[in-house]
Amino acid sequence: MLVECFECNHMISNKAPRCENCGISIKSSKSRCLMVIFILVGGGLGLHRLYAGLFFSGLLQIGLTFITIVSSEPVLIIGLACWLIFDFLIIVFGLFKDSNSKAIA
């Protein structure tokens, strides 16, 4: 599968660690194993998003978790569960990106 380099827009393989054209790193320095641990241990607290540098969505997830616990609304519980399952799947399949839009491998 080909992806576009963030720096020079050259098409490169998604397996390549660096762009052949400009040499910039394509993969994030974050660990996918650590991301899985964070989402399993503190998924509702947004630990995985904070680790990836996605501070706004991490804080939003913390807020949504707090509101869900306080209100116990079924719609919020289902929404939060869907968000966490979606995050878990994209982390496991290696599609989650950090704050620099680099894939976390």
Q: What is the pTM for the complete model shown?
A: 0.76
For 97, phi and psi rounded to 5 degrees? Answer: -115, 150
In total, how many domains does the chain have?
1
Place 26 in a pLDDT band, splitting at 50, 70 and 90: confident
Asked whether residue 9 is assigned to any structural domain, the reply reads no
Asked whether residue 14 is assigned to any structural domain, the reply reads no
Asked whether residue 12 is assigned to any structural domain, the reply reads no
Where in the sequence is the domain holding 51, given as residue range(s)? 28-92
pLDDT score, position 85: 95
On the 0-12 / 13-18 / 19+ scale of CB atoms within 10 A, 4 is exposed
Asked whether residue 38 is assigned to any structural domain, the reply reads yes
Asked whether residue 67 is assigned to any structural domain, the reply reads yes
Q: Distance of CA 55 to CAs 16, 51, 58, 62, 105, Å?
A: 28, 8, 5, 10, 20
